[in-house]
Structure 1
Amino acid sequence: MTADSLAAPRAPHSAPRNKGVNLEKWGWLYMRASGVVLVVLIFGHLLTNLVLPEGGVHALNFAFVAGKFATPFWQWWDVLMLWLAFLHGGNGMRTIINDYVRGEGVRKTLVWVVWIAVAVMIVLGTLVVFTFDPCLGVTEDSTLWTACQAA
């Protein structure tokens, strides 16, 4: 076989292959699995927030969100959706960078920037969901004053 020809697709490899973990394969599998789970989470989110409440989308307000974030089930639902979405998007951006950026230093820098941004957004989003307090900063002239005093 010459340098200009390709081996047949089913031909055995002539060079020894890396026996380590194939991160590209696991990234590819993660994209498929997280995509399926995200479809379920997102459509469940849209259904429970926009379709099922009486009044539809017009029922969506601060009190509605505060009520959902008071329930651990919806907190974990939204956090799981947040984590999967950011990791899915970050992995997709990593793939695009690997495909289109030629310079090794620039490519590595961009991949690091993507993962740092993903990590920061996951931490901030998780903090918002689990530390959400609808009564924070409520004053006597607010419409939430009576509800927050009862709590």
Structure 2
Amino acid sequence: MTADLLAAPRSPRSATQRRRGNLEKWGWIYMRASGVLLIVLIFGHLFVNLMVGEGIRGIDFAFVAGKFATPFWQWWDVAMLWLALIHGTNGMRTIVNDYVANETTRKVLVYGLWASAAFLILLGTLVVFTFDPCLGLSSTSADWLQELCA
């Protein structure tokens, strides 16, 4: 019975198997490379937010507005967002591929994962690059915000 399910070790692979194998190889390489980059990005993010300046007490709206006013920190956070979401989605795709036997269900789940990741990447990128602390500024806003937006 198992002989019918497993291909012979030296049998040629079909085009679909070759494509998926190549996708799996690049997914594996991406997971390793993005993992290393994420370690640098996340620990840099944590160091700047928690160790520099006032530490955790200094994190407020003004701190975030100041960081998002600098292109360096915008790109740092966007790179962290993109890498983390794609890394996590690729990991979930691997789990779905391993545990979901039904091909239709597997495809629906994988497409759903990638669609939600794409939506979150788009939304997060828009938030980072269009962040405006002066949007909706009222006369009752804090003094520092009034000065920042003047």
Which TM-score band (shorter chain)?
A: 0.7 to 0.9
- Which is bigger in relative contact order (C-alpha 8 A, separation at least 6)? 2
Q: Which amino acid in the other structure matches residue 146 of structure 1?
A: E
Deviations 1:7-61 (A, max 9, x none): 9xxxx952123575511011011001100000000000000111112x2110111
Counterpart mapping for 1:14-25 below 5 A: 14-17=10-13, 20-21=18-19, 22-25=22-25
Counterpart mapping for 1:32-47 below 5 A: 32-47=32-47
Q: How many residues align?
A: 142
**Structure 1 position 56 matched with structure 2 position 55:** yes
Q: Quote how far apart the aligned CAs of 1:147 are.
A: 2.4
Q: Which amino acid in the other structure matches residue 87 of structure 1?
A: I
Rounded to whole Å, the distance in 2 between the matches of 1:44 and 1:25 is: 29
Q: Which amino acid in the other structure matches residue 115 of structure 1?
A: W
Q: 1:126 maps to which residue?
A: 125
Q: Runs of at least 4 residues of structure 1 off by over 6 A?
A: none
Q: Quote how far apart the aligned CAs of 1:146 are.
A: 3.0
Higher Rg of the two aligned structures: 1
Q: Quote how far apart the aligned CAs of 1:96 are.
A: 0.7
Q: 1:146 maps to which residue?
A: 147
* Secondary structure of residue in 2 paired with 1:113: helix
Rounded to whole Å, the distance in 2 between the matches of 1:3 and 1:106 is: 26
Rounded to whole Å, the distance in 2 between the matches of 1:34 and 1:120 is: 20
Rounded to whole Å, the distance in 2 between the matches of 1:140 and 1:110 is: 48
Counterpart mapping for 1:59-70 below 5 A: 59-70=58-69
Q: Which amino acid in the other structure matches residue 105 of structure 1?
A: T
TM-score normalised by length of structure 1 = 0.87
Structure 1 spans left out of the alignment, 5+ residues = none
Rounded to whole Å, the distance in 1 between the matches of 2:148 and 2:24 is: 51
Structure 2 spans left out of the alignment, 5+ residues = none
Pairwise CA RMSD of aligned residues? 2.1
